[in-house]
Amino acid sequence: KAGVTQTPRYLIKTRGQQVTLSCSPISGHRSVSWYQQTPGQGLQFLFEYFSETQRNKGNFPGRFSGRQFSNSRSEMNVSTLELGDSALYLCASQKDVGATNEKLFFGSGTQLSVL
Amino acid sequence: AQSVSQHNHHVILSEAASLELGCNYSYGGTVNLFWYVQYPGQHLQLLLKYFSGDPLVKGIKGFEAEFIKSKFSFNLRKPSVQWSDTAEYFCAVNVASGGSYIPTFGRGTSLIVHP
């Protein structure tokens, strides 16, 4: 069974640009969540999608947005990039969003560098 | 707001030493607790989880964690570490939100084990 796939693996952008990251969950998983990982802040929750609907959103500005498609694949978009957006962006999937004890399956992440 | 605190940000040990990583959370309701590990160059993966029953849970690779409700703690332990345990360790608590459960992560603990 293929794991969670994130593309691209690395991205270099300049301030003011926008970026779109992609995530394909494990087959059969309908919940996709996104996290920002930085050395100082650890993992911070961005948002979660289930059946094409955003179920939860973290404390990030509106420049961060996402969507989920009918095949459960998800994209996140960051507009008007700032230097502080440089981070590893992780995607995770799980089968059922309502199961509290379900573990997350993480992708390898997209390393975004903003110059 | 719920939070997860990991008190040790950097830990350096020699092989065969014992390990205990602290994790405290602030949430008054029912919790489900997780420890995730990120080995160098690999994606995050589940080490162990607690959701009910015996408060002492055992995970992969000889790790265990004890849930102490009165102390709001879920410390990770291993009696004898190996060089291959060098990794970043994240404690997480699942919090109910919007019909689903969102994990709140601690900032992580970087463990370096010297051979």
Is the pLDDT at A49 greater than 70? The verdict is yes
Which residue on chain A is closest to B47 by alpha carbon?
A: A103
Please give the single-letter amino acid code of residue B78: K
- Measured CA to CA, the distance from residue B103 to residue A11 in angstroms comes to 26
Does the CA dihedral A78-B6-B49-B96 come out positive or negative? negative
User: How many beta carbons lie within 10 A of that of residue A19, not counting itself?
Assistant: 18
Inter-chain touch B44–A90, beta carbons under 8 Å: yes
Closest to A6 measured CA to CA, from A115, A106, A113, A114 = A106
- Measured CA to CA, the distance from residue A95 to residue B29 in angstroms comes to 24
What pLDDT was estimated at residue A39? Answer: 82
Name the residue among A44, A50, A108 with its Cβ closest to that of B100. A50
In the stretch 81-100 of chain B, residues with CB closer than 8 A to chain A read: 90, 92, 94, 96-100
A24 touches chain B (CB under 8 A): no
Pairing mode, strands B100-105 and B45-50 = unpaired
With contact defined as beta carbons under 8 Å apart, do B63 and B48 qualify? yes
- Section A80-106 average pLDDT: 85
A29: which 2 tokens? 């998983």
Q: pLDDT (tens digit, 0 to 9) for every residue of chain B, 115 residues total?
A: 678 999 888 999 999 999 999 999 998 777 889 999 999 988 899 999 998 889 999 998 999 999 999 999 999 999 999 999 999 999 999 877 766 777 889 999 999 999 8
Which residue on chain A is closest to B30 by alpha carbon?
A: A100
Which residue on chain A is closest to B34 by alpha carbon?
A: A103
Element (H, E) at B7: none
Inter-chain touch B107–A97, beta carbons under 8 Å: no
- Measured CA to CA, the distance from residue B90 to residue A87 in angstroms comes to 17
Which residues, including other chains, have CB under 8 Å from residue B107's CB and lie 6 or more apart?
A40, A41, A42, B6, B9
Half-sphere exposure (Cβ direction) of A12: Cα atoms closer than 13 Å: 1
- Measured CA to CA, the distance from residue A36 to residue A54 in angstroms comes to 17
With contact defined as beta carbons under 8 Å apart, do A66 and A42 qualify? no
Name the residue among A45, A56, A101 with its Cβ closest to that of B49. A101
> B82 to chain A nearest CA, in Å?
24
- Find chain B residues with C-beta within 8 A of A42's C-beta: 90, 105-108
A54-78 tens-digit pLDDT? 988 888 999 999 999 999 999 999 9
